[in-house]
Amino acid sequence: MEDIINIRINPMKINSIQSFANIKGGFIKGIKNVYFIRIIGIDEKDNYLNDIYNMDKLLSERNNQYNGYLRINSFPTYIDKNDMLFYTSQYENFIKNNTEDFRLKNIKKNMPLFNIYLMSLKNIKKLFKNKNVSILKNFIIELFFWSDCILPKLIGDTNKWNEKNSYKFVFTGNLKKHEYYFLYFLTQIGVDVMYMNTEKDLDFEKEILELSELIKLNSFAKIDIPLYKINETSVKNLHKQDNKTKNTKLHTNINTQNTVFENKNKRKELDFEQIAKMASSVVMISVYNNSENCIKTGSGVMINKDGYILTNYHVISGGSYYTVNIEGENNVYTTNEIIKYNNYTDLSLIRIDRQLNPINVYNEKNELSRGQKVVAIGSPLGLFNSVSDGIISGFRNIDNVNMIQFTAPISHGSSGGALLNLYGELIGISTAGFDDGQNINLAVDYKTILNFIKGFIK
C-alpha cells in the first residue's frame, strides 16, 4: 500500500496558543510530526482572546507556510436517511476490508489521502477493542460524516492533500468522547489539533486523555469565544442546518394571527382520556450488557411505522442489546440496531422488526408557550406507561440544546418518553429531572427532534 506515513505526536513541548500557531511539524523519512494538545483554563481574558484572534489571522493567510486551518465550536450533527444508508454501506466495506468499493463523498480511491485515511481508520478502530460492535459502528459512521463535512473546509480541495503540508484544526466548544476520538483521528492523517476549554478539563478515562498533551493555565472562567471570523464561509457551511432552522423561525413569525385562526378552526384538542390511549405508541426499553444482565430501563416513542423508535442517547448508551415492550402485547422484541444517535442532543434512534403506530411530531408554525398544558407518558421506575399532566413552565438552552421545562411528574425510567400537547402531538422527549426540585423536568424540544429524525418520518 502506497502513501503510508508514520505519525509522531507531540515531539516537542508546547505551552501556549502562540506556540501551537507557530510550530510546523516536520516530515522526514516518512515520519510526520504532529501535535495534539488541550488548553484548559485561561490566563488574562483579553490576552487569551487576542491570542485566538492572532492565531486565526496568522493561520488564515494561505500565502504563508501553512496549508489549511479551521476553528469551530460544535460538530455538524444532521445525517439524513440517504446519508445514513450511504455511510452504513461504507462501514460494511471497511469492516470487510473491501477497499475496492470503499469511498466517501470527499475522499475517493484515486486521492493521495485515501490510503492514509484507511490506515488511520484501522488505528482508531483499536481504541474500541473492548467495546461492542454497535458502539464501533456508530462511531465510524459519525467519523465518515464528520470527515466529509470538515476535511474539505480544513484542507480545501481534498484531492490536493499532501502529507508534507501543515494543517491545523482547533475546537473551542463542549466536547464529547466520540468527538475527542475524531480529533485524535485527525492527528493520524497528519493534522495538528488543539482543544480549548476555559472552564474545566475533559472528564474522560486517563488513557484516553493521555492521547493529548495537557496545558493547564492559571485560572478558570466562562468566556464566550467568538466564532472564527477571518473566513466565515467554512463555519457557515458546517452550520447550514442551524441557519435553516433560524430562517424558518423568522418566516413563521409572519402572519401569526392568521395562522392561529386557521389552526383553531382545523384542530381540536383531545381530552386526557384520548391522549392517554396514545400510550400504546410509547414503549419501555430495557438495556442489557454483554453478560445479559439488565442494567437500566427507559422509554421510547414510535416515530415511523417501519419499526423506528426514538429515545435518549443516555438510555441506550452502554448497552449490548435492548428489549422493547409494547403496551397490550405479551411479545418482547429484542434488537441491537442503533440506527443513529447524537450524544450532544441526547437523542438516539433504534429499530425493531415490527410494524408500529407512530406518534406525529408537532410541526406547526405557532411557537409553544409557557402555561400550555402538556401530558407526559413514560415508564418511571419501570412502571410501564404511566401518564401524567402539567404545563410548560419555561424554555431553556442547556449546552446549546433547546429544552422545554415542564411540570408533569417524571422519574428515573421516564427518559426517552413522550411529552405531548393536547392535540396528541410529540413536542418533546423527556430527558431529565432535578431531584432537588419539585416537578422541574426537561425535554428535548420538537425542533431538535425534527432535525434529528429528518428522513425517517413520512
Burial string for 21-42 (b: 16+ CB within 10 Å, else e) reads bebebebeeeebbbbbbbbbbb
Q: Which residue, among 183, 187, 141, has the nearest Cα to 163 in the 3D structure?
A: 187
Q: Which residue, among 279, 289, 281, has the nearest Cα to 322 in the 3D structure?
A: 289
CA distance 151 to 165: 14
Q: Which residue, among 252, 262, 451, has the nearest Cα to 367 in the 3D structure?
A: 252
Q: Looking at 320, 415, 430, 445, which residue is catalytic?
A: 415
Q: Is 314 a catalytic residue?
A: yes
Q: Looking at 148, 192, 346, 445, which residue is catalytic?
A: 346
Contact 425, 361 (CB under 8 A): yes
- Decide: helix, strand or coil at residue 278: helix
CA distance 302 to 432: 20
Strands (E), 225-378: 282-288, 294-304, 308-311, 321-325, 332-335, 338-342, 347-351, 373-378
Q: Is 386 a catalytic residue?
A: no
Q: Looking at 314, 379, 430, 445, which residue is catalytic?
A: 314
CA distance 285 to 123: 34
Name the residue with cell 406525529: 360
Q: Is 56 a catalytic residue?
A: no
Burial environment of residue 217 by CB neighbours within 10 A (0 to 12, 13 to 18, 19 or more): middle
Q: Which residue, among 74, 86, 71, 139, has the nearest Cα to 345 in the 3D structure?
A: 74
CA distance 76 to 242: 9
Integer-rounded Cα radius of gyration of the chain: 24
CA distance 51 to 56: 9
Instruction: Write out the catalytic residue numbers.
Output: 314, 346, 415
